């Protein structure tokens, strides 16, 4: 082992990464974190104007990028995305399935949740991850790449009044395990389960002082995470430093699920 062996294993120079939901919040931090580690990164989402500064951020860090929108719930759109990435940047080495939603009409006791809301949340959060993995599969097998899924503490424990979200995130944890088994030893598949992070998704929680304080009190580290604090473990799992890690879900939750 050379003196710098550990550092080199974190180096993603020459790797091409796709980050879904890469326009805002955690996905944006993951895209820029991967670029900081040397990767070429395509952040994708439905809103082009969110993606433009992230593409510019990747390029400022010396990486190649491309401005490509995609709705992960639309399998044709997903197929077109991976064809375009391969054509513009070459085969994908790293897929980060981060796109996720938890809209207001999907919250509540089961009798209050529309079937349409169930369908949309599971289509985006779980179906989208599967569609992207499926579309990226030939590339990942060619490059010996890896997948990192972004679940939630709601993928590890039950949360009241969030049935579609919790079911989809538990599904991602299971998908991670079964894909890791099927794809070994060629492709590694892992997952992170973030706790509470201040982003657009949690605006309702962070704007309500009482609710925010109760979540902080429930969290051993006593605060919400910064998006970059979720990005760093994702970069680790995407790197050769995690070469013997597959099929696992890493809680990045300030100790929330340790209680």
In the complex, what is the shortest distance from the CB of residue 137 to ligand NDP, in angstroms, rounded to a whole number? 19
Based on the shown chain and the rule CB under 6 A, indicate whether residue 252 belongs to the binding site for ligand NDP: no
Which entry of 82, 118, 130, 165 is annotated as an active-site residue? 165
**20 interacts with ligand NDP by CB under 6 A:** yes
Q: Are 126 and 179 in contact (CB under 8 A)?
A: no
Which residue lies nearer to ligand NDP by CB, 228 or 240? 228
Q: How far is the CB of 159 from ligand NDP (least distance, A)?
A: 10
Of 40, 90, 89, the closest CA to residue 61 belongs to 40
Strand ranges of the sheet holding 94-97, from the earlier edge strand across to the other edge: 40-44, 16-20, 94-97, 146-150, 188-194, 249-252
**Residue 110 C-beta: closest distance to ligand NDP, Å:** 20
Q: Which residues pair with 41 in a beta bridge?
A: 17
In degrees rounded to 5, what are phi and psi of residue 94?
-135, 125
Distance from the Cα of residue 211 to its chain's centroid? 25
Q: Closest distance between ligand NDP and the C-beta of residue 48, in Å?
A: 8
Q: Footprint of ligand NDP on residues 106-165 (CB under 6 A)?
A: 124, 150, 152
Residue 237 binding ligand NDP, by CB under 6 A: no
Site string for ligand NDP, 190-229 (x = CB under 6 A): ----x-xx-xxxx---------------------------
User: Per CB under 6 A, does 179 bind ligand NDP?
Assistant: no
Q: Based on the shown chain and the rule CB under 6 A, indicate whether residue 57 belongs to the binding site for ligand NDP.
A: no
CA distance 156 to 167: 10
Stretch that binds ligand NDP, among 10-18, 25-33, 132-140, 210-218 (CB under 6 A): 25-33
- Among residues 12, 18, 26, 146, which is the contact residue for ligand NDP, using CB under 6 A? 26
CA separation for the pair 69, 107 (Å, rounded): 27
Q: Looking at beta carbons only, is 144 or 255 nearer to ligand NDP?
A: 255
Q: Which is nearer to ligand NDP, 26 or 238 (CB)?
A: 26
- Cβ atoms < 10 Å from Cβ of 78: 24
- 244 flagged as catalytic: no
Task: Pick the closest to residue 146 from 29, 33, 51, 18 (CA basis).
Answer: 18
Distances (CA, A) of 78 to 71, 74, 85, 186: 7, 6, 11, 22
Supply the DSSP string of 149-171, one letter for each residue.
EE--GGGTS--TTBHHHHHHHHH
Q: Which residues are catalytic, by number?
A: 165
Which residues of the shown chain bind ligand NDP in the complex (CB under 6 A)?
20-21, 23-27, 45-47, 50, 70-73, 98-101, 124, 150, 152, 194, 196-197, 199-202
């Amino acid at each position: 082992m050379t003196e710098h062996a550990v550092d080199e294993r974190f180096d993603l120079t020459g790797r091409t990464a796709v980050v879904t939901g890469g326009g805002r919040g955690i996905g944006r931090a993951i895209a820029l974190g991967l670029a900081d580690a040397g990767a070429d990164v395509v952040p994708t989402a439905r809103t082009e104007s969110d993606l433009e500064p992230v593409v510019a951020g990747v390029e400022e860090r010396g990486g190649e990028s491309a401005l490509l929108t995609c709705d992960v719930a639309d399998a044709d759109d997903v197929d077109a995305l991976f064809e375009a990435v391969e054509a513009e940047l070459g085969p994908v080495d790293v897929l980060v399935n981060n796109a996720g939603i938890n809209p207001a009409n999907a919250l509540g006791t089961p009798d209050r949740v529309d079937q349409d809301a169930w369908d949309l949340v599971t289509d985006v959060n779980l179906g989208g991850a599967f569609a992207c993995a499926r579309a990226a599969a030939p590339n990942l097998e060619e490059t010996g790449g890896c997948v990192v899924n972004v679940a939630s503490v709601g993928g590890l424990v039950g949360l009241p009044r969030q049935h579609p979200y919790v079911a989809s995130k538990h599904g991602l944890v299971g998908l991670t395990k079964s894909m890791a088994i099927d794809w070994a030893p060629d492709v590694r598949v892992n997952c992170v389960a973030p706790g509470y992070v201040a982003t657009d998704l949690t605006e309702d929680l962070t704007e309500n002082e009482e609710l925010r304080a109760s979540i902080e009190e429930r969290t051993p580290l006593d605060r919400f995470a910064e998006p970059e604090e979720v990005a760093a473990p994702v970069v680790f799992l995407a790197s050769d430093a995690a070469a013997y890690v597959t099929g696992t879900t890493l809680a990045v939750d300030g100790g929330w699920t340790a209680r």
